[in-house]
Amino acid sequence: MNHLKKAMVLAAGLGKRMRPITDTIPKPMVKVSGKTLIDYGLDSLVEAGVGQAVVNVHYLAGILEKHLENRHDIAISISDERAELLDSAGGIINALPLLGSEAFYILNADTFWVDQQGEPANLLKMAEAFDETRMDILLMVARLDQATGYDGKGDFTLTPEARLLRRQDNDPQPVIYAGAAIIHPGIFKDAEASVSSLNRYFDHAIANKRLYAMPMHGHWITVGTPDAIEDAEKALAALN
């Protein structure tokens, strides 16, 4: 079984839609049912046997760093973006010296999920599914009916071969990128740590038929605005 040792947690965003809560704390520090958003993600990594997480910081970075010092069950390295916010791909490229040459997880620090009881953890299933000979990127995806707090139309169309295409207008069951991925660092070869989005790399992988999906089991929760916290807490209560 594949076993990934490292993860990148994207935690540097400004969280503007979460104001006024994020006037005083970074978005990954927002609490749902008494636990911060970033701790939901870190707990999932610990459960999957990941030993090291690299967390990028920018907005109110000191608050997040201080909070992370309390985690002793996973080694945490900080990738400092105080000087310039580099976006999703730029943040990862900047952290590559800490992440090494093997495939690693990427987690968004402002979404989380609840694994299906009786099923292996989603991150473990992703590691099992990842095949770097066929895949550049593997995304965890959710159906719209598996999501709380999401009001979009879906991100991708899932093919019968588990590959992903950008959402097709005639797709009756589009899927959402559920904030967890596995990437091989080779896709960033020769890239510079400047402002750039992962979407560019998703599109490149689609063009090469190397963007794949792992449909998640369980329920996915995103908390985009202060109003969404109550919905997230109701969903968690219903699942427990």
pLDDT of residue 1: 52
pLDDT of residue 88: 83
Q: Given pLDDT bands bounded at 50, 70 and 90, which one contains residue 35?
A: very high
Task: Give Cα 99 distance to the centre of its chain.
Answer: 16
* pLDDT tens digit sequence for 84-138: 888 888 899 999 999 999 999 999 998 999 999 988 999 999 999 999 999 999 9
- The model carries a pTM of 0.94
Q: Regarding predicted confidence, which is higher, 170 or 64?
A: 64
pLDDT of residue 84: 84
CA distances from 69 to 32, 74, 99, 104, 120 (A): 20, 10, 19, 22, 29
The answer on pLDDT for 2 being more than 80 is no
Residue 11 has φ and ψ, to the nearest 5°, of -130, 20
Q: Residues 156, 138, 92, 39: is their CA dihedral positive or negative?
A: positive
Q: Are 78 and 97 a contacting pair, CB within 8 Å?
A: no
Instruction: Kindly write down the DSSP assignment for every residue of 44-108, as one continuous string.
Output: HHHHTT--EEEEEE-TTHHHHHHHHTT--SSEEEEEE-SS---HHHHHHHHHHHHH-SS-EEEEE
Count of alpha carbons within 13 Å of 150, Cβ hemisphere only?
Answer: 25
* pLDDT tens digit sequence for 199-234: 999 999 999 999 999 999 999 999 989 999 999 999
The per-residue pLDDT of the chain, averaged, comes to 93
Q: Are 120 and 225 a contacting pair, CB within 8 Å?
A: no
Q: Given pLDDT bands bounded at 50, 70 and 90, which one contains residue 240?
A: confident
Q: Regarding predicted confidence, which is higher, 190 or 115?
A: 115
Which token pair is 159?
Answer: 């093919």
pLDDT of residue 218: 95
Bridge partners, residue 32, by sequence:
35
CA distances from 152 to 9, 141, 175, 215 (A): 23, 14, 10, 18
Domains, the chain, ordered by start: 6-234 (3.90.550.10)
pLDDT of residue 89: 87
Nearest to 38 by CA among 12, 20, 14: 12
